[in-house]
Amino acid sequence: MGIMSDAEKAGIASATTDKTDSHNPRTEKPALPEQVRVRFCPSPTGIPHVGMVRTALFNWAEARHTGGTLVFRIEDTDAQRDSEESFNQIIEALNWLGIDWDEGINVGGPDAPYRQSERGEIYQKVAQQLLDAGYAYESFSTPEETAARNVAAGRPKEFGYDGYDRTLTEEQKQAFRDEGRKPAIRIKMPDEDIAFDDLIRGRIEFKAGSVPDYVIVRPNGDPLYTLTNPVDDALMNINVVLRGEDLLSSTPRQIVLYRYLMELGVAKEMPLFGHMPYVMGQGNKKLSKRDPESNLFLHRDHGFIKEGLLNYLALLGWSISPDNDIFSMEEMIKAFDVRDVKANPARFDIDKATAINAEHIRMLEPQDFLNRSVPYLHRDGVVSADSWDALTDREREVLTAAAPLVQPRVRLLGEVAGMVGSLLSDEEYLAPEKDAKKQLKATAGEVLDSAIATLEALPEEQWLTDTLHETLTKMLVEEGGYKPRLAFGPIRVAMSGRRVSPPLFESMEIIGKPVSIARLKNLRAHLDEIQAA
């Protein structure tokens, strides 16, 4: 989009919204069309980020709620920044999240092609129509010349384009061509206020003169977003444009261009606009593509499931009800209305996102939980294969037994390996992690000696959860007088090497008597060295 001029900034500053009185006719949000047509049109310029996905989600939810149509196209006219890798990642992200579309990329439809890089002839034709009708004109001014004219007129040099080329004669244009200059094409902005009723923000007005004549085609012939985006929306009959607040400054340009396109018969109607709030990151700064919490695939790598992540992203500007943050996508579709989205910036809170993800993990069927966990377990070297069916019988047996112990306790699928690794391992000594060592108090040696003596005498057929619980509680708590934390802490560390693990006695049953006894003995053997460190 480029850097906004001072004039444009002034226009945005003077753009007014007043949502304090919902009955004020200036703030009434417009009714939606009978047949809603929305679009998702990202640029393939990097790894998919949460702001992009939130835009896709809200468009998808609006289309599904209204029984409308979602068109998915790609805006890839920036050859220097666009990449096929990013294009494929966007497709991968949408497929993973289950956000589907009705027309567009890989689906087809009546308005193909759906990649802007394949629609160049269309843009050339429309640009020529705009020139022929007098809605656009050739502009030969360089940025340096524009800045010099601004300074000469007593304006800041960054003030923006001054309309100089509007009145060039054919002789002046030819003189520039004789110098070897090639013109850009600019749209003529009218000398009047531009207002529209935003679906989210209510009435917004831009003062006359706040938006200068803008470029739609570069001197080298490349069309800009300012042309391609509205033209595609017009030709694809998009009647509801839902996009980020960062594009609000381009809306008066698009409204004016739409008026011209309607006059030319290219567009049938003016779409409704809704500008979704910024997603803020740490320190109340706008979340950048470069911020780690913005990276969609990083969240997936950590173990977010699609249900949890989509649920949280839906809360970035919208809520299903005042007292309910946990909902399914089916429930969202039933309730969603873009006019209920709040205009205030939404802050991405990774802790809340993780907590919501944990709720959705707990709602999974146990086998579904295991199926989704296996790729993470394989990635972390805990199991032998990346799919449930390819695991060994022993791995499936242990994981099936562990699922009810682990599923309620993990927040992310990436945490499952740390919880089940000790159950799957046949190692007879698990070196304690740093925070686990703090559980080994001065009484740890006595506790381990008593536990070893007691458990060695327990017949293997009685090596069951309830028996282990009763036996160790009686020996260590009731007769030994140890508090449960001091009694069971060293045993937990011996079994898992971790401070946090699945329930102790269930874990011991899964691990079995031989390995459990060996781990207790080996921790006891290393205890002096651990405590001395």
Binding-site residues: 289
Give the contacts of 515 (CB within 8 A, at least 6 positions apart).
Answer: 426, 427, 428
* CB-count exposure of residue 171 (10 Å: 0-12, 13-18, 19+): exposed
Closest by CA to 472, choosing from 488, 493, 456, 492, is: 488
| Look-up of token digits 């803008």 | 214
The tally of CA atoms less than 13 A away on the side-chain side of residue 415 is 19
d(CA 198, CA 147): 34
Closest by CA to 173, choosing from 361, 181, 220, 389, is: 181
d(CA 529, CA 467): 32
- With vertex at residue 379, the alpha carbon angle to CA 378 and CA 385, rounded to the nearest 5 degrees, is 25
CB 165 within 8 A of CB 216: no
| Active site (catalytic) residues | 289
Is the bond preceding 113 in cis, omega lying within 30 degrees of 0? yes
* CB-count exposure of residue 131 (10 Å: 0-12, 13-18, 19+): middle
d(CA 237, CA 239): 6
Q: b/e string for 358-367 if b means 16 or more Cβ within 10 A?
A: bebbeebeee
Distance between terminal CA atoms of the chain?
Answer: 59
Binding residues for ATP: 289
Written as one string, the DSSP assignment of 95-108 is: HHHT---SEETTTB
| Look-up of token digits 């494929």 | 88
d(CA 163, CA 184): 13
d(CA 218, CA 182): 9
d(CA 29, CA 385): 54
